[in-house]
């Protein structure tokens, strides 16, 4: 929810909006999995930060966004589109992978996939801001 401040902007009130979702995930298998969706309506500055906590080879991630819904079975479903090509995460603990975009969107999420057969743990932070 936007925070409205009436100071520091002359006579005009200013608003600051930020949405953040963070989790530590361990993919169960080699198939692609998805994070939860984050509502970023009217927050076009999108940031995806991924830190690999376990596993010597980098996991593969794809940032996704939705600007509209399409007909699902009885209910509308988000029309997920890739923001970028697949990216291999830097497996070094001290160097998280950060992906930043300026893109109007309604929802964002991350698709992630571990290297074949490798136990992998990721810390994912999704955020949207003005």
* Whole-number pLDDT of residue 112: 98
Instruction: Tell which residue, 76, 73, 58, 62, has the closest CA to residue 108.
Output: 62
Is 13 domain-assigned?
Answer: no
CATH code for position 107: 2.60.120.380
In a domain, 12, yes or no: no
The domain of 90 spans: 19-129
Tally of domains within the chain: 1
The reply to whether 60 falls in a domain is yes
Residue 41 placed within a domain: yes
In a domain, 2, yes or no: no
Please, are residues 63 and 46 in contact by the beta-carbon 8 Å criterion? yes
Q: Which residue has the higher pLDDT, 7 or 98?
A: 98
pLDDT at 74: 79
pLDDT by residue (tens digit) across 9-67?
555 666 678 999 999 999 999 999 999 999 999 999 999 999 999 999 999 999 999 99
Q: 85-116: buried (b, 16+ CB within 10 Å) or exposed (e) per residue?
A: eebebebeeeebbebebebebbbbbbbbbbbe
What pLDDT shows up at residue 75? 84
pLDDT exceeds 60 at position 5: no
What does the mean pLDDT of the chain come to? Answer: 90
What radius of gyration, in Å, describes the C-alpha atoms of the chain? 17
């Amino acid at each position: 929810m936007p925070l409205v401040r009436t100071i520091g902007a002359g006579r005009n009130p200013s608003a600051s909006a930020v949405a953040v979702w963070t989790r530590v995930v361990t993919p169960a298998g080699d198939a692609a999995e998805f994070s939860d969706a984050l509502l970023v309506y009217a927050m076009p500055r999108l940031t995806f930060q991924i830190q690999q906590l376990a596993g010597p080879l980098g996991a593969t991630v794809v940032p996704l966004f939705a600007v509209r819904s399409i007909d699902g079975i009885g209910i509308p479903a988000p029309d997920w589109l890739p923001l970028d090509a697949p990216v291999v995460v830097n497996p070094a603990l001290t160097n998280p992978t950060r992906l930043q975009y300026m893109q109007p969107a309604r929802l964002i999420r991350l698709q992630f996939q571990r290297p074949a057969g490798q136990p992998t743990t990721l810390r994912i932070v999704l955020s949207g801001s003005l």
